[in-house]
Amino acid sequence: MPPQHNAGAEHMLVSMLRPLVERGHDVQVWLSRYGNVNEPYDYRGITVVPLESRLDFPTAVRKADVLLSHLECVPSTASLARGYSKPMAVICHNTHRPTFRDMAAGGTALAVFNSQWMQVEAELFYAEYPQSIRPAQSLIVRPPVFAADYATKPGKAVTLINCNADKGGHVLEKLARRMPEQQFLAVKGAYGEQILPDLPNVEVVEHVDGQQMREQVYARTKVLLMPSSYESWGRTGVEALASGIPVIAQPTPGLCESLGEAGVFVDRNDLDGYEAVLRKLLTPAEYRLASKRAKARSAELDPTEELATWCTAVEGLAR
């Protein structure tokens, strides 16, 4: 069950595995892509097994009580789960057709959706393909963000995290040209061709590890931009809310659900709208109100209860 180059998926995965470790379970993550490490290592209590170690994954499957998988690794993991009669949970990060197709191919004991709208989309898939095999159980675990891990005093910059075209790199560039007096922060993403403006008011920051986001990104951010063409949830937006940082976002179903009343929604093609909203948010009175809404939404999204339900469901599969 490998972390991927999708940072949001990786962060969600780790934040869901840590509570299982805290309950005393032996948790292993087997990577499916080559990297620079040859030996297994510990990451926050989780044993990570690199592909380069060339250890025997089927043997680990045979000894396991429960298998977890996500993204492109679901079909191969499901085959091993069926072969060794092991229960498998599938963590669904997006509403793309392969996610539902692989999850409903058979052998999934527990489907975990990251939002209510994704669960609804899954139901539509089942209706369209009645021959698909429904998982025995399903639940919703919104990408867990503990506010205390991210809360800080906001900075002064308008920030975009991952500056590829789908995330709205062009919006940051055009806003920076329109607002030369405003500081912007362009944080490189782990995937996609990055749009990185060479402008005096734009600082480019290299890709930041999740554990460093508070100090290196949110402590320098006043407003977060999320003009994404697609977000199944939008974890970085929720991380920003913990510090009372307002988020201006494309109204995707995922972002509307995650940000709720705290979100400021503008179509990603409406640059005039982004500029007008941003200028308004940067006024002290409007910023105070938006920041208050952000912190209130952050409190609503406390993941404690959902993670407890998740751990109980996984433990139930092992019985």
From the number of C-beta atoms within 10 Å of its C-beta (0-12, 13-18, 19+), residue 150 rates as buried
The confidence score (pLDDT) of residue 4 equals 41
Q: What is the pTM (predicted TM-score) of this model?
A: 0.91
Could you tell me the maximum CA-CA distance found in the chain, to the nearest angstrom?
62
Which tens digit of pLDDT belongs to each residue from 160-219? 999 999 999 999 999 999 999 999 999 999 889 999 999 999 999 999 988 899 999 999
Spatial distance between the Cα atoms of 97 and 316, rounded to a whole number of angstroms:
28
Do residues 142 and 235 touch, judged by C-beta distance below 8 A?
Answer: no
- Model confidence pLDDT, tens digit, residues 231-289: 999 999 999 999 999 999 999 999 999 999 999 999 999 999 999 999 999 999 999 99
Q: What is the dihedral of CA 1, 140, 114, 155, to 10 degrees?
A: -110
Which domains are assigned to the chain?
Answer: 7-144+303-317 (3.40.50.2000), 147-300 (3.40.50.2000)
pLDDT digits (tens, 9 = 90+) for 85-136: 999 999 998 999 889 999 988 889 999 999 999 999 999 999 999 999 999 9
Distance CA 22, CA 175 (A): 44
